Structures are given as C-alpha cells and as structure tokens.
Amino acid sequence: MKKYETEIGGKSLSVEFGKLAQQASGSCYVRYGDSAVLVTATMSDKPKDAGYFPLSVEYEEKYYAAGKIKGSKWIKRETRPSEEAILSARVIDRTLRPRFDHRIRNEVQIVATVLSFDGVNDPDIPSIIGASLSLMVSDIPFDGPVAGVRVGKEDGKFIFNPTYDQRNSSEFDVVVAGTAEKINMIEAGGAEIKEKEMADAIMSGFDEVKKLIDFQNKVASDFKVEKRKLEVDEEDPELVEFVRSFASPKLEKIIYAPNKMEYIEGSHTLESELMVEVENKYKDRADLGKKLRQASAIFEEEIDRIVHKNILESDKRPDGRKLDEVRNIWVETGILPYSHGVGLFNRGTTQALTILTLAAPGMEQWIETMEIALTKKRFMHHYVFPPFSVGETGRIGGAGRRDIGHGALAEKALRPLIPDKEKFPYTIRVVSEILSSNGSSSMASVCGSTLALMDGGVPIKSPAAGIAMGLIMDDKGKNHKVLTDIQGPEDHHGDMDLKVAGTKEGITAMQMDVKVDGITKDILEKSLEQAKKARLEILDVMLKTISEPRKELSKLAPRIEILKIDPDKIGALIGPGGKMINEIIEKTGVEIDIEDDGSVFVTAPNGNGEMEQAIKLIKNVTYEPKAGDEFEGKVVKIMDFGAFVEIMPGKDGMVHVSEISDKHVKHPSDVLKVGQKVKVTVKKIDEYGRINLTMK
C-alpha cells in the first residue's frame, strides 16, 4: 500500500493505492477534505466488434457517503444516476477521451464511486485526478496524465477548488482540465463574465493543473507497470493508396455539396461503392472483413485530410463561408396557437423550437441527490433531440446522456438571466425541440429559449445567444485556423468544439472538448473574441424580431398575486388539517402556496373573479383588526351580557349589551338573533387580544 499527498486550493489531497479494489486494472482512493472517492479503471480482455473506441465513464453517488437515506417512500437503494452525476461523468469522460488511441477496440470502463461526502468539497475534481492516476498505474494504454481544477473568485482573487458556499457567492464557476502543455476540457458558467476575465480564470486554473500533472508523474514513477500490447489496426500503405485514388477526386465534390443531406447521401453512396471495390480486390483473402473495416476508417481519414488541407492552405470551408462567418439566421416567435411563449431559431439547417410554460410556485421541481438536500428548482430547461432531426430512425422517449448534457449547458447559460422569484414568482419550464441538427443545436436552444422567454413576457435580465467555435490544426500543432459556427464535416472532423453562450455584456456558459492534445492560451483568447463577434451578430438578428420581453403575459398563462401576511397567521390560513386553505381553493379554483416568511402566492387560471375572491378570503382570515375597522358580521352566539359576532372567518368579537343600540336594551335577544347580519365597528382590542365591538 502506498500513499501520496499534495495540496490544491490550500487543502490537502491524498491518494492511496493497493488497499481497495485490487482486482481492477488500476484503482486509487482519493481524499480531499472529508470527501473521498474510489476510482477504478478496467479493460476487457478481448476487443469488441465496433467501429469506435468503447470507453465508458460512470460516476456513482452513494447516499451513505453523505450520511443520508434516500427520501423516496418506496425505493431506498440508489437507482439510475441523477442528472448531476451524469454531468460529472461527462466532465471526466471529456477530459480522458482525447488521451487514448482511438484505434483501441477493447472496452475501457472508469468507475468513480463516492464513498464519503462532507458537504463542503465536491468529489468531481478528485474523481478526474483519480481516474488519471488509476489509468497511469494500470496496464491500460493511456497517454496521460491529465488533471482538472475548479476556479472561482473571492474578494477579487481567483480561488481553486472552492467550497459549495464559495461557489454560490462567486461570479463564475469554471472547471478546466488538461495535460502539462495544453488545455483539453472546459466547463464554465457565470454572470455575464467578460472574455478577458474568463480567459484569465481558465489560465490561472491551468497553472494549478500543471502542478497536479507534476504530482501525478512523481506518483506514476513509483509504479513499474508494463502497458498491455493491444491488437489495433495498423495502416496498410497499399490499401491507403487504393482508397485515396478511388475516393479523393469524388470526395472533393461531395464534401463541398451545398447542403448537409447531399453531403451525407453522397458520402454514404461513395463509401458503399468503395466497399464493393475493396471486396472485389481482396475477395480471396482470409482477412477480407478486416480490410473492409480498415477501408472504412481510411475513408473517414481522407475526408478529415481534405477538410484540414483546404482550410489550412486556402481558408476553404465546406460551405464556402469565411472563417468567422455565421450561417444565415432567421427567427420567429408566437408560432403555436396555444402556448405561453414560443421561439423558433434557425441557423443554417440547425433548427430549435422552444416552448415556454409558466406555472404556480408549487410546481417547482423537487431535487434530492447525495450532494443536494431536498430542495426546489423553479427554472428548468429541457433539451429533446429526436432521431428525425438528423434524418434517421431511432428510439423515442427518455433523455440520454447527451440530451441531459446539452440541456444542462443551455440551462446554465440562461439561469443568471432569469428574474428573481420576488419579481416574477412563476415556475418556468422551457423545452427545446431540436427539429433539425447540423452543428451546435445546444447553442441554438439557448437562442430559441431566449426568444420563447421574451415572447412569453418573462422579464429576463438580458437576451442571450450562443455559438459553437471549431478548430482545424495540422499534425504538428503549429498551423491552425479558428472557425465560427461549425457544421457538417467541420463539426465531425474538426479538432475542437467550443460552445460559448452569453449576452452583449459577457459570457454566461462555456464548454469545450477537443480531439487533439489541447489548445493554448492564444487559441483560447482568439476563439473567445471570435465567438463574441458572432454572438453579437446573432443577438442583433434576434432583437430585430423581438427587442424586449412582452409587457403582458399570454392570455393562456396563469396569473399570480403575492400577499404578505404575518408568519404567525400561517396556521390560521391553513386551518386545522388544512381545512381553511382547502375551502378557499375549492371555492375559488385557485392554487395557494405559502412560504415560511409569510409570502402567499395565489395562482389563478386567468385574471378573472376567482383571483379577487380568493385574495379577499385570505385577507379575511389573516387580517388583524384594529380600532375603527368596520365589518358586516354575523351573530353567532347570544349571552345575557351581549352577543358574539363573527367579523371574519374564524374570528369573533363581542358586542356588549350597552353597545347594541343608542337606546336602552334590556336583553340582547330583544334586538338580535343568531344568524342575523349586523354592521359593527371595532371599539378596542384589549391586552388579551379580545375584540370589543359596537353597533352604535
């Protein structure tokens, strides 16, 4: 057993080997504060019959790690991962994936199991480090190490691996990962952060990453591990020449087809023709199947080579645009007849239709995970990617990891712009239906959602838009070109996918993945500036259609009024067993939500009489009478000394016999009877809270 320690963000990070999970190919136990995670790396013995590298990353949240039992009444064991766990797994995956030889066909699985969670330190960064070290000390071929760090800001200074409380007060939350030389993964969100400040935060995090890389190299040097020799397809020079001579002349025309469907159909047809030629050429060979697989891979590499060559040498993009040119954009709002707000955003052949729904505060989503105590979420963005959006058939229903990741990115971009609950108390859900996809549908959903929110009259703080940036780089990494608004073969064969969303004032969300070693500071800064230019162009087009949120909500949207009552009156409003509040709801048809501070949210299907009636009833129950107030009450009880009059539901006052009339009254029953309606005025309220009334 071996143990190593280093420091990140002023706190100790320790890594132990050899104690847990000895049968995995590689494993380590990483502790940061009192949060601890076991990370394992395992590889299958035999290659899988697949045309891709089968890497999977799992992030396992365990409720026992936080000293909790799952809140569900019926299911207490962990089931499918939460959205937060899926997003953490994606961050680890995106950091590791570029560092593998993608010709590997053996399944590789990384499992990060959170064993201890202190509620202060997020286990996701230790999981990235643990995943890298588990691979480094295993026999799995891996071009590491890689590391990651989280960056926030406190008192004007960058802080690393901030606590949850520090993250909540920070203007931004940035996760940056990479190697000793380059950045290969970014995940960021913030409140309209300027491009320079975002770049500075990322580069400051990268300096910490390099320290963690040095630490990992020292650890790995103690483990004399021989990496497994895997069977991978080596290039056959003869086959490469054959594929190129057959396909290249035709690919030049296909790649530069005017639209995506022509490109897809043309490349599929040409590849099918190529397979026939290869089969004829090698039909007598025992390894025909292998040759066909190799030919398909070489065909893809040839598309990659042509795209790279033409952009690097002559700035020639597949659709003929300039390097910093955005595709044609057109937008519409309010196109559905029965909705609270709609935005249709089109960029080239990428199309996002976003629909807004507004509801009562009580419709907030309840969330419970290992990390998050039972809490509410009032703004939700959901992303739907049906197979027809790319001209394919497939499974419908349920969100996959990609859908969850893209939806979360767009939600992160919009969240800082959503009005506070005090100003706009609605529960807000936007759903982006991707009807056609050809490059950066997640950023199109940011734009479509902004349009829908403004169309629905949600007073967002500022409109947002998003754009995807790409990179074409030569094999040596010396020559490169940054591309604005990537699509088609640029997206598939490009070397970077950098998504940047924000307003005119700054960045609200950012995400980057690469297929090469990574990017430098110069590329990052250039990409951010180019993305800003594109974002402002897109916003200009959007604002020509709708320049600000509509002044009125849709007639179909519910109406909400906020009342403030004395918190001590909450019990009276609810009534015994909920009797009082249920009576008001049943009588008026409204929804009523009450918060501990005395805020009462009344939601009516429309702004008609039921709202006024409900508010009146609530005020009657919760109103505190004072001297001089006049009421029309009902006599509920007659005594020798006077009568009790109900002035509000559940609240009585007493009229002394001497206060019934200006004339002498011998007995209250001579003038009054139970059930009679009378006009009364509050004369005084004594020290015991008893209400004295007069009819004079």
- Show binding-site residues: 491, 497
**DSSP state letters, 627-681:** TT-EEEEEEEEE-SSEEEEEEETTEEEEEEGGGS-SS--S-GGGT--TT-EEEEE
Q: List % helix, strand, coil for the chain (3-state, nearest 5).
A: 35, 30, 35
Cβ–Cβ contacts within 10 Å for residue 278, how many?
22
Chain centroid to CA 629: how far? Answer: 52
Q: Is the dihedral of CA 487, 491, 495, 496 positive or negative?
A: positive
Q: How far apart are CA 115 and CA 66, in angstroms?
A: 8
Dihedral angle at the C-alpha atoms of 400, 438, 519, 252, nearest 10 degrees? 130
The CA distance from 613 to 592, in Å, is 13
Class of residue 202 by CB neighbours under 10 A (exposed 0-12, middle 13-18, buried 19+):
buried
Q: Give dist(CA 410, CA 403) in Å, integer.
A: 11
Residues 653 and 660 sit within 8 Å (Cβ to Cβ): no
Biggest alpha carbon–alpha carbon distance for the chain: 125
Residues 6, 214 contacting (CB under 8 angstroms): no
Give 393's DSSP letter.
-
> Which two three-digit tokens encode residue 64?
């026992």
Task: Give the residue ranges of the annotated binding site for Mg(2+).
Answer: 491, 497
In the numeric block, which tokens belong to residue 260? 């995506």
CA gap 423, 549 in Å, rounded: 14
Helix axes 83-96, 124-136, angle to 10 degrees: 40
Q: Closest Cα partner for 594 from 616, 576, 572? A: 572
DSSP 3-state of 268: helix
Among residues 682, 137, 87, 134, the alpha carbon closest in space to that of 399 is found at 87
User: Which is it for the CA torsion 513, 518, 521, 522, positive or negative?
Assistant: negative
> Residue 339: which residues within 8 A CB-CB, separation 6 or more?
355, 356, 357, 554, 556
Q: Within 10 A of 157 (CB to CB), how many other CB atoms are there?
A: 8
Could you give the CA distance from residue 240 to residue 226 in angstroms, rounded to a whole number? 32
Query: How far is the C-alpha of 466 from the C-alpha of 408, rounded, in Å?
Result: 14
- Among left, alpha and beta (phi > 0; psi -120 to 50; other), residue 653 is beta
Cβ atoms 466, 440 nearer than 8 A? yes
- From CA 178, how far away is CA 212, in angstroms rounded? 10
